[in-house]
Amino acid sequence: MTEQRLIERAAQGDPLAVRTLYERHAPRVFAVVRRIVGDDHRAEDCAQEAWINALRGLSGFRRDARFGTWIHRIAVNQALQMQRRAGTRRDRESELSENLSVAPTRRDVLLEDRIAEALDRVPERMRQVLVLHDVEGYTHQEIGELLAVSPGTSKSQLFKARGRMRELLHGTITTESKEGVEA
Amino acid sequence: MNHLSPDTLARLVDESPSTEERGHLNRCRICREELDALRTQRLALSHLPPLRPPAGDWDRLEPRLRTEGLLRNPAGSGLVARPWLQAAAAILLIVTGVGLGAWLPFDRDRPGGGQAIATASSPTGGFSGETPASILTAMAEPDRELTLEEAGELVQLIERWYLQALLEYRERAEVERGFAPEDPLTRFAALETLMAASQAAVRELPADPFLNGLLVNMHAEREATLRGIQASYTRDWY
């Protein structure tokens, strides 16, 4: 079934069509909200809200747009809204736990674990910009619109976030790690 | 020597250096390595994989979607209005039944019977939130395509439903009637349905030996049942 037909059926409340859309896009939706909000439970709530909002608005979805891009944007907005509402700036400056190896490694999974853990410890605003720019590929113009800041502020936050990540990942990422990342 | 600032290095990850900055990078191994590490970090971030939601996420989301009216309830899904779909369901049941017949624990005292029932009564497939009617209705779409994984999952789920329904039926028949019904007319009607289904299946795959064999057997069984009914009527008539 084509994605367009699937969306039409999902807009009519077809359970299998909705489930199929969910199976296709849930991992990317969950990934972006998890990385922005930095917490599993809040990310799950946030992803669910994103799905509910997306399905509510499905009848207005432009048929020439890509559903994946559309729900991704809804999820990002939902995650940013949730953080604004919560107004929490939890202290994420604590050091990385000791239970992971600090030695440089070429294994992707370990590197991903380290990066995920470090991301959770980057201050909230910096993390939002870092995730949107370096992970999700948004431009500074787009990030500025999402966060209601200037593109210059977005850039400044990004540079600080990269520096903070570098500190947190010190010893994990070296020039030797590049081969592992590209593998 | 003064090194480039962390912000400058972070900027140079995706911007070109000025002449002055380039000159410094050429001379300073520490800044060069730091910039390389930042570029590797950027690359690693861009390669982070999608994340599966926690287990049970859909099970929590589905009731919320129903409450919001964003999911149709499975009841009245139009299954009855699609005779050919009933036939498709029937063929699915018999094909499944052929496989299950080899191990179905009709004898309660048979070792392992209880285990088979327990397994069948706990479907855990990814379609577990759906009902047989809603899945079959959705599959009636002519351009519906399942992945191999989805199709396999669906077959497993329908097998479990079939087995559960069969076990339930047997329980009730034993309790309420004392034995399984042997009404030849009911059997003939059931065989008629299966004949239609097997004929449709053979039209779809004319060269499939299993489907052809099924159709031939079905035809023979139907004829034998019909002869039995006619003989019974003849005896009764006189």
The per-residue DSSP string of B147-187 comes to: -HHHHHHHHHHHHHHHHHHHHHHHHHHHHHHSS----HHHH
What's the per-residue H, E or C state across B49-94?
Answer: CCCCCCCCHHHHHHHHHHHCCCCCCCCCCCCCCCHHHHHHHHHHHH
What does the longest C-alpha to C-alpha distance in chain A come to?
53
Q: What is the pLDDT of residues B88-121, one digit of tens each?
A: 555 555 554 544 443 333 333 333 333 332 233 3
Chain B residues with CB under 8 Å of A112 CB are 44, 48-49
CB contact under 8 A, A9 and B11: no
Question: Mean pLDDT of all residues in chain B?
Answer: 70
Is ipTM > 0.85 here? no
Tell me if chain A has a CB within 8 Å of the CB of B133: no
Chain A residues with CB under 8 Å of B36 CB are 175, 178
Instruction: Count CB-CB contacts under 10 A for residue B79.
Output: 17
Helix B148-177 × helix B83-101 angle, to 10°: 80
What is the token pair recorded at B104? 């179905």
Query: Considering the domain A108-182 in this protein, what is its CATH number?
Result: 1.10.10.10
Give the three-state DSSP class for B102: coil
What is residue A126's predicted lDDT score, i.e. its pLDDT?
95
Tell me if chain B has a CB within 8 Å of the CB of A152: no
* Residue bearing tokens 């559960």: B164
C-alpha distances (whole Å) from A178 to each of A71, A105, B47, B194 are 32, 10, 12, 61
Q: What is the pLDDT of residues B25-37, one digit of tens each?
A: 999 999 999 999 9
Percent pLDDT > 90 in chain A is 55
CB contact under 8 A, A134 and B70: no
* Residue bearing tokens 């919560």: A86
What is the token pair recorded at B49? 């994989």
8 A C-beta contact, residue A177 and residue A111: yes
Contacts of B128 (CB under 8 A, 6+ apart): B59, B157
Tell me if chain B has a CB within 8 Å of the CB of A60: no
Cα gap B62→B191, rounded to integer Å: 38
Q: Given pLDDT bands bounded at 50, 70 and 90, which one contains residue A43?
A: very high
Minimum distance, in Å, between the CA of residue B97 and any CA atom of chain A: 25
Taking CB atoms and an 8 Å cut-off, how many pairs form between chains A and B? 154
8 A C-beta contact, residue A49 and residue B61: no
Minimum distance, in Å, between the CA of residue B2 and any CA atom of chain A: 18
Minimum distance, in Å, between the CA of residue A112 and any CA atom of chain B: 7
Q: Does residue B167 register a pLDDT over 70?
A: no
Contacts of A84 (CB under 8 A, 6+ apart): none
Q: Given pLDDT bands bounded at 50, 70 and 90, which one contains residue A173?
A: low
What is residue A46's predicted lDDT score, i.e. its pLDDT?
95
Chain-centre distance for alpha carbon B26: 60
**What letter does residue B141 receive in the DSSP assignment?**
S
**What letter does residue A59 receive in the DSSP assignment?**
G
What is residue A28's predicted lDDT score, i.e. its pLDDT?
94
| Residue ranges per structural domain of chain B | 6-40, 77-180, 182-238
What is the token pair recorded at A70? 């559309």
What is residue B142's predicted lDDT score, i.e. its pLDDT?
60
What is residue A177's predicted lDDT score, i.e. its pLDDT?
55
Q: Does residue A53 register a pLDDT over 70?
A: yes
Cα gap B33→B19, rounded to integer Å: 18
Query: Which amino acid is located at A143 in the chain?
Result: I
Q: Given pLDDT bands bounded at 50, 70 and 90, which one contains residue B222?
A: confident
Minimum distance, in Å, between the CA of residue B60 and any CA atom of chain A: 9
More confident residue, A103 or B158: B158
* Residue bearing tokens 């502020």: A153
Task: Determine which of B113-122, B130-139, B212-221 has the lowest per-residue pLDDT on average.
Answer: B113-122
CB contact under 8 A, A48 and B60: yes
Tell me if chain B has a CB within 8 Å of the CB of A116: yes
What is residue A160's predicted lDDT score, i.e. its pLDDT?
96
CB contact under 8 A, B9 and A163: yes
Q: What is the pLDDT of residues B46-64, one digit of tens each?
A: 999 999 898 888 889 999 9
8 A C-beta contact, residue B40 and residue A178: yes
Cα gap B103→B93, rounded to integer Å: 16
B147-154 contacts, C-beta under 8 A, 24 or more apart: B150/B126, B153/B125, B153/B126, B153/B127, B154/B125, B154/B127
Interface test with B, best of A5, A9, A16 (most B CBs within 10 A): A16
More confident residue, A46 or B192: A46
Fold of A3-86: Rna Polymerase Sigma Factor; Chain: A (1.10.1740)
Instruction: Specify the domain boundaries for CATH 1.10.10.10 within chain A.
Output: 108-182
Tell me if chain A has a CB within 8 Å of the CB of B17: no
Nearest to A46 by CA among B51, B45, B175: B51
Tell me if chain B has a CB within 8 Å of the CB of A56: yes
Cα gap A169→A167, rounded to integer Å: 5
Nearest to A128 by CA among A173, A92, A97, A94: A92
What is residue B45's predicted lDDT score, i.e. its pLDDT?
93
Tell me if chain B has a CB within 8 Å of the CB of A126: no
Instruction: Specify the domain boundaries for CATH 1.10.1740.10 within chain A.
Output: 3-86
pTM higher than 0.90: no
Q: Does residue A127 register a pLDDT over 90?
A: yes
CB contact under 8 A, A48 and B57: yes
Question: Mean pLDDT of all residues in chain A?
Answer: 83
